Amino acid sequence: MSVEHNTREIEDGVVTDLRERMTYGSYLGLDSLLASQHPRSRPEHHDEMLFIIQHQTTELWLKLVIHELDDARRLLAADDLGAALKRIARVKHIQEVLTQQWSVLATLTPTEYAQFRGALEGASGFQSAQYRMVEFALGNKHERMLQVFESSPAEHAALAAELERPSLYDEFLRLLARHGHDVPAEVLERDVTKAHVYTESLVPVLQRIYEGAAEPGAPDWRAYETCEELVDLEDNFQLWRFRHLRTVTRTIGRKTGTGGSSGVDFLARALDLTFFPELYAVRTRIGT
């Protein structure tokens, strides 16, 4: 290193002739990835690039979340709880990134957004097939949502397949049943194309798991750990929803959404949805 010129010399072993070699850019497909930002405002507004990249980045992270949740369910079905927990842990870190990046979009002021919002026409995050797949994978199924994707056969097919597949919670509860826990038949045999709803008879099963795992190494410790990981997933999801709500509120107030929704009120109602209701209900029972 040349201190005098404040430069770092390229080491002799560093490959500099990249002809006919796989490169960083070709491996990541950067030519197409970095050419996928197409502002629609005319004249092009400076801040539209932020809006596009924020949402494209979210979709990339959602693709990884789907990848991890797919494998977590496969592993749960194969009784490989340890590996499944690793997948879930990764999803939790991705959720943190997704929540934190709302702060970048929040730098977009109402005046700035208003100057290019019309260029979106009817495009809306409500139309994100990957977001719906994540919701379905976690158990918030809604068959009517498929109507939104009828114009996109590939997205419609993917979401329809996800509708038919057991959720992460379904697979965990099936694992508990295989390992001797008295999970009610109504839970194990439920129609997995419907959203999971609160089942009172499941709460005592979870209560026994929590109360039987007072010390690490107890027989129910891994089941207890998984319960808490699922609670983390839901808490993170709700934090993401809330941060979304607050970012929209500060940017467009109570305007109607670009996709035709009521906007803030529509987003606020999502905060009432829950993936794992019994894992919250059990907290009232423990110690009583």
Known binding-site residues for substrate equal 51-55, 113, 117, 258
With both helix axes pointing from N to C terminus, report the angle between 129-138 and 168-178 in degrees, rounded to the nearest 10. 20
Binding residues for heme: 244
Q: Residue 214 carries which side chain, given as an amino acid letter?
A: A
Q: What share of the chain is helix, strand, coil (3-state, %, to 5)?
A: 60, 0, 35
Q: What stretches of 115-244 adopt beta strand conformation (E)? A: none
Binding residues: 51-55, 113, 117, 244, 258
Q: What are phi and psi of 69, to 5 degrees?
A: -70, -35
With both helix axes pointing from N to C terminus, report the angle between 221-252 and 277-285 in degrees, rounded to the nearest 10. 110
- CA R_g for the chain: 23
Q: Residue 40 carries which side chain, given as an amino acid letter?
A: R
Please, are residues 239 and 258 in contact by the beta-carbon 8 Å criterion?
A: no
The angle at the Cα of 220, spanning 219 to 222, to the nearest 5 degrees, equals: 105
DSSP classification of residue 7: B
